[in-house]
């Protein structure tokens, strides 16, 4: 299958530091290539991939200090549009703009929504452009969307088994990994650690938008012997950080669309203590891969319970549900379903074009050959041209199988 993957330009693919969406795109891209698909990646020039590469910005926009991404993203989408005929499927991992720019070829496009959808400025666009097939990363992510949303599938994230290797022993500290922001609630994590009497290590980046929150709320809480602030970590540091922890704290206060760090922790065998918000109940199997809580009191009790959980069982849950192989299979299924929709649409169009034309019998011109009109039941039925018959037959087969060619 010929697949275009269109990544955000904020970070490289894979990212050098923080960047959950770009990391997922990289894992998906490499696995699709491994499975034999013909993949083209549209991303920033710093990206590294085994797929065909179409660089669309000299540097990742965040590291280049570019805050407004619209201009660069529009330029990338223009490049994608120019090559649209080369692909069976165009898979967007950037949102909003493709809805308007690709609506006329939406039957070969799909868009994975990686962010929160409960923002009022986004909903009118999804209502205005319902043609674009959408993929959610959790069922809970869908809740704010209008009924007209064109959902194709839900695909949970997955990651390669070796990215966060299994650590059978773990360690004696609690881990907090991600961004320092009000909705991630690092203040809760600090309070839990203090009350449980267990060391907390915080590996997190601070975006410019959250710097005031960090300075006024979080930084004063760091002056405690149990609390250590590490800052942003790279991929190899993250693996060691998660694998050596007793548990990951995920004390979110917002409708988290997925929460990649939860499955990274599970891959390392480290159980997750998470608030019941957003996707948490879909990702964490309570009592197996972690503990789902609704208060700081419950979280403090969960710290001890997490220390007694089987790390092998946590890892087994990851391998069962959240590997990159499973994610790629789910996306290929979505691609085939998308192409099946298009084939069905072509078949319906062919049937509509072949409908008999009503006319009085007296006006029927009877002649020999392929232009012969056949009178039947007061209708004039003109035989289909061979090409039209072939198109209808091919479309019918594609509609039944979900395939367009031997490449699929």
Helices (H), 49-122: 70-82, 97-101
Cα-based distances in Å from 314 to 20, 254, 270, 305:
22, 25, 7, 13
Tokens read off for 273: 């203590």
Q: Model confidence over 62-109: pLDDT tens digits?
A: 888 888 899 999 999 999 999 999 999 999 999 989 999 999 999 999
Whether the CB-CB separation of 245 and 290 falls below 8 Å is answered with: no
Q: What percent of the chain has pLDDT over 70?
A: 84
Q: Model confidence over 276-309: pLDDT tens digits?
A: 999 999 999 999 999 999 999 999 999 999 999 9
- Identify the pLDDT of residue 350: 58
- DSSP reduced 3-state for 142: helix
- Identify the pLDDT of residue 28: 99
**φ/ψ (deg, to 5) at 201:** -115, 125
Nearest in space to 262 (alpha carbons), one of 254, 253, 247 = 247
Q: Model confidence over 128-182: pLDDT tens digits?
A: 999 999 999 999 999 999 888 999 999 999 999 999 999 999 999 999 999 999 9
378 pLDDT higher than 50: no
360 pLDDT higher than 90: no
CA dist 181 and 171 (Å) reads 26
118 pLDDT higher than 80: yes
Q: What angle do the packed helices 235-243 and 260-267 form, to 10 degrees?
A: 60
258 pLDDT higher than 90: yes
- Identify the pLDDT of residue 166: 98
Top CATH class, 173-321: alpha beta
Give residues with Cβ within 8 angstroms of 192, minimum separation 6.
174, 200, 249, 251, 273, 296, 299, 300, 303
Question: Hey, how many other C-beta atoms are within 10 angstroms of the C-beta on 82?
Answer: 9
Question: Hey, how many other C-beta atoms are within 10 angstroms of the C-beta on 218?
Answer: 22
Tokens read off for 221: 């809480």
Give residues with Cβ within 8 angstroms of 184, minimum separation 6.
178, 204, 251, 252, 253, 254
Quick one: pLDDT band at residue 403, thresholds 50, 70, 90? very low
- In the sheet that holds 52-55, the strands lie side by side as 52-55, 38-43, 2-6, 89-92, 109-113, 134-136, 151-154
Max CA distance (Å), the chain: 99
| Residue pointed to by tokens 């894992």 | 27
Quick one: pLDDT band at residue 123, thresholds 50, 70, 90? confident
Instruction: Domain ranges for the chain, please list them.
Output: 173-321, 331-401
- Identify the pLDDT of residue 353: 65
Note the pTM of the prediction, 2 decimals.
0.82
Whether the CB-CB separation of 137 and 116 falls below 8 Å is answered with: no
Report the chain's mean pLDDT, rounded to a whole number. Answer: 87
């Amino acid at each position: 299958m010929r697949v275009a993957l269109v990544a955000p330009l904020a970070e490289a693919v894979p990212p050098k530091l923080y960047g959950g969406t770009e990391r997922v795109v990289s894992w998906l891209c490499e696995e699709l290539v491994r499975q034999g698909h013909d993949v083209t990646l549209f991303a920033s020039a710093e990206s590294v991939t085994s797929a065909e590469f179409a660089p669309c910005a000299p540097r990742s926009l965040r590291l280049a200090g570019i805050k407004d991404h619209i201009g660069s993203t529009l330029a990338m989408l223009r490049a994608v549009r120019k090559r649209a005929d080369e692909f069976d499927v165009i898979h967007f991992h950037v949102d909003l703009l493709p809805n308007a720019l690709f609506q006329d070829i939406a039957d070969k496009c799909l868009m994975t929504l990686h962010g929160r959808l409960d923002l009022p400025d986004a909903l009118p666009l999804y209502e205005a452009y319902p043609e674009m097939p959408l993929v959610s990363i959790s069922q809970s992510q869908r809740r704010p969307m209008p009924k007209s949303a064109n959902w194709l599938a839900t695909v949970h994230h997955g990651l390669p088994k070796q990215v966060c290797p299994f650590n059978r022993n773990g360690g004696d500290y609690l881990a907090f990994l991600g961004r320092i922001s009000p909705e991630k609630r690092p203040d809760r994590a600090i309070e839990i650690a203090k009350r449980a009497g267990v060391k907390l290590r915080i590996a997190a980046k601070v975006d410019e938008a959250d710097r005031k929150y960090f300075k006024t709320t979080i930084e004063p809480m760091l002056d405690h012997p149990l609390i250590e602030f590490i800052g942003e970590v790279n991929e190899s540091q993250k693996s060691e950080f998660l694998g050596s922890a007793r548990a990951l704290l995920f004390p979110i206060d917002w409708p988290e669309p997925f929460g990649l760090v939860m499955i990274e922790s599970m891959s390392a065998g480290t159980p997750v203590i998470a608030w019941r918000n957003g996707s948490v109940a879909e990702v964490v199997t309570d009592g197996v891969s972690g503990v789902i809580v609704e208060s700081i009191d419950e979280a403090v009790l969960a710290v001890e319970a997490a220390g007694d959980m089987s790390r092998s069982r946590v890892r087994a849950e990851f391998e069962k549900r959240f590997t990159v192989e499973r994610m790629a299979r789910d996306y290929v299924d979505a691609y085939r379903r998308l192409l099946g929709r298009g084939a069905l649409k072509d078949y319906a169009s062919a049937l509509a074009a072949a409908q008999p034309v009503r006319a009085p019998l007296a006006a029927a011109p009877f002649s020999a050959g392929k232009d012969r009109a056949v009178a039947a039941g007061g209708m004039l039925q003109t035989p289909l041209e061979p090409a039209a018959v072939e198109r209808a037959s091919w479309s019918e087969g594609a509609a039944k199988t979900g395939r367009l060619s031997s490449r699929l």
